[in-house]
């Protein structure tokens, strides 16, 4: 092969590599967003995917109406607009010059994250240091057993059967890196852990919240831990509506841990209307604790007395028990549903 032919072949290969690289970064379209919504991904995850990928969205009036009809939420649509603006800005030479300036470290707002959203965090404070507690997403099960006690729920076979759904930790890992101060902190999701189960249809069912595995991976040696909780810029919620709490978890059949339960209509998870007062009669083992509020969404949380060995979790609970939720938001883990489903589980180890 002559040198000239070799150079031509090399150039062709280089162009192919360039084209393949571009193909791997295909911009997202309206259909991609709708597919993620119909696939049941959490709102925060969809927004993160929108922020991380190039944009090619149709935002005409007809297209926006189609997005709304398909269940795309206003924050998701805002993310699409922000992504289009960010792409347009990056294509402008003036914008490129402006972005060459270092961003202000005090600001969490960017073209990719215009609302300044941050994933909520919980850390145990100890001797001037902090130990992050991984964020998990509680899963929902349905059962005919009435929520009379945590032990009765733990003995229900629905929890064991639900575990056949398997574990997925992929979806929350994206959300933990976008517009979030927690960096490499672990965010875990038990995707599909608890699946729906109904014997025969009834007007009301018991909805059970739980997390997988019989024990938490976060093991604390401190019987009176203090937690720093920050949900001040959690996506889609009003931080003034919530306060942190500590609950005791109930292990169930050596497969999972029950957080709590309440009753609701059999189609509650399908309703987009905010008419479900989940916490008005919610069954849980809440631990007496002192929540010191620094400002909206920022607290120091300390149990009122030393904790006995066992399984516990920091959760977010409505300030008012009559707060109404959308069952669809709870099922998808978005907005207020995201806040109520958020769990930071930990184990108090027995003294050696």
- Give a yes or no: residue 99 inside a domain: no
User: How far apart (Å, rounded) are the C-alpha atoms in residues 309 and 181?
Assistant: 31
Please identify which residue in the block is written with the tokens 């280089």: 14
- The answer to whether the beta carbons of residues 194 and 162 sit under 8 Å apart is yes
Mean pLDDT across the chain: 77
Please say if the pLDDT value at position 272 is more than 60: yes
Handedness of CA 136, 278, 315, 252 (dihedral sign): negative
CB within 8 Å of 10: residues ≥ 6 apart: none
Token pair listed for 69: 């009809």
Question: How does pLDDT run across 8-21, given as a tens digit for each residue?
Answer: 444 444 444 343 33
Q: Which residues of 56-88 are buried (b: 16+ CB within 10 A; e: fewer)?
A: ebeeeeeebeebeeeebbebbbebbebbbebee
Question: How does pLDDT run across 52-89, given as a tens digit for each residue?
Answer: 788 888 888 788 888 888 988 888 888 888 788 776 66
Give the DSSP H or E segment for 266. Answer: none
- Give a yes or no: residue 291 inside a domain: yes
Between 142 and 16, the higher pLDDT residue: 142
User: How far apart (Å, rounded) are the C-alpha atoms in residues 257 and 239?
Assistant: 27
16 and 140 together in one domain: no
Residue 230: closest CA among 335, 338, 105, 122: 122
Handedness of CA 152, 155, 161, 162 (dihedral sign): positive
Q: Give the orientation angle of helix 74-90 with respect to helix 61-69, to 10 degrees.
A: 140
Q: Could you please report the per-residue DSSP string of 168-215? A: --HHHHHHTTSS-TTTT--B---TTSS----SS--SEEEEEEEEESSS
pLDDT value at residue 115:
58
86 and 127 together in one domain: no
Among candidate residues 59, 79, 94, the one where a domain is terminated: 94
Which DSSP category does 91 fall into? T
- Give a yes or no: residue 111 inside a domain: no
Tell me the pairing of strands 285-287 and 121-126. Answer: unpaired
Burial of 193 (0-12, 13-18, 19+ CB in 10 A): buried
78 and 165 together in one domain: no
CB atoms within 10 A of CB 190: 23
- Give a yes or no: residue 290 inside a domain: yes
Question: How does pLDDT run across 310-341, given as a tens digit for each residue?
Answer: 999 999 999 999 999 999 999 888 899 999 99
47 and 137 together in one domain: no
151 and 58 together in one domain: no
- Give a yes or no: residue 114 inside a domain: no
Please say if the pLDDT value at position 247 is more than 50: yes
Average pLDDT (212-222) is: 90
- The answer to whether the beta carbons of residues 140 and 260 sit under 8 Å apart is no
Torsion of CA 104, 109, 111, 114, to 10 degrees: -170
Give the DSSP H or E segment for 64. Answer: helix 61-69
Phi-psi region of 83 (alpha: psi -120 to 50; beta: other; left: phi over 0): alpha
Please say if the pLDDT value at position 171 is more than 90: no
pLDDT value at residue 236:
87
Q: Which domain holds residue 192?
A: 121-348
269 and 338 together in one domain: yes
- Give a yes or no: residue 12 inside a domain: yes
Token pair listed for 250: 């109930």
Phi-psi region of 166 (alpha: psi -120 to 50; beta: other; left: phi over 0): left
Between 236 and 170, the higher pLDDT residue: 236
- The answer to whether the beta carbons of residues 226 and 124 sit under 8 Å apart is yes
Token pair listed for 119: 């994933």
Please say if the pLDDT value at position 215 is more than 60: yes
- Give a yes or no: residue 116 inside a domain: no
154 and 83 together in one domain: no
User: How far apart (Å, rounded) are the C-alpha atoms in residues 219 and 224?
Assistant: 13
């Amino acid at each position: 092969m002559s040198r000239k032919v070799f150079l031509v072949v090399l150039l062709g290969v280089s162009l192919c590599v360039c084209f393949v690289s571009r193909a791997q970064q295909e911009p997202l379209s309206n259909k991609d967003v709708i597919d993620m919504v119909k696939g049941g991904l959490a709102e925060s995850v969809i927004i993160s995917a929108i922020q991380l990928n190039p944009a090619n969205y149709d935002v005409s009036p007809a297209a926006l109406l189609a997005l709304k009809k398909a269940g795309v939420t206003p924050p998701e649509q805002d993310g699409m607009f922000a992504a289009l603006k960010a792409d347009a800005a990056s294509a402008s030479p003036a914008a490129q010059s402006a972005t060459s300036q270092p961003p202000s470290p005090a600001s969490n707002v960017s073209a990719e994250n215009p609302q300044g959203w941050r994933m909520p965090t919980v850390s145990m404070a100890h001797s001037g240091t902090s130990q992050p507690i991984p964020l998990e997403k509680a899963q929902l099960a349905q059962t005919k057993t009435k929520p009379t006690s945590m032990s009765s729920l733990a003995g229900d076979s629905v929890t064991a059967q639900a575990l056949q759904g398997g574990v997925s930790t992929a979806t929350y890992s994206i959300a933990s890196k976008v517009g979030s101060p927690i960096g490499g902190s672990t965010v875990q999701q038990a995707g599909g852990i608890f699946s729906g189960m109904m014997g025969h249809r009834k007007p009301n069912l018991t909805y059970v919240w739980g997390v997988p595995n019989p024990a938490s991976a976060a093991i604390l040696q401190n019987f009176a831990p203090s937690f720093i909780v920050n949900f001040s810029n959690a996506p889609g919620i009003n931080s003034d509506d919530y306060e942190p709490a500590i609950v005791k978890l109930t292990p169930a059949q050596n497969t999972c841990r029950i957080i709590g339960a309440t009753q609701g209509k059999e189609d509650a998870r399908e309703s987009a209307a905010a008419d479900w007062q989940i916490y008005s009669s919610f069954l849980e083992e809440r631990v007496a604790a002192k929540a010191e509020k620094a400002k909206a969404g920022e607290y120091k949380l300390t149990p009122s007395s030393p904790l006995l060995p066992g399984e516990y979790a920091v959760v977010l609970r409505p300030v008012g028990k009559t707060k109404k939720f959308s069952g669809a938001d709870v099922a998808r883990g978005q907005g207020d549903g995201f806040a109520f489903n958020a769990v930071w589980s930990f184990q108090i180890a027995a003294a050696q």
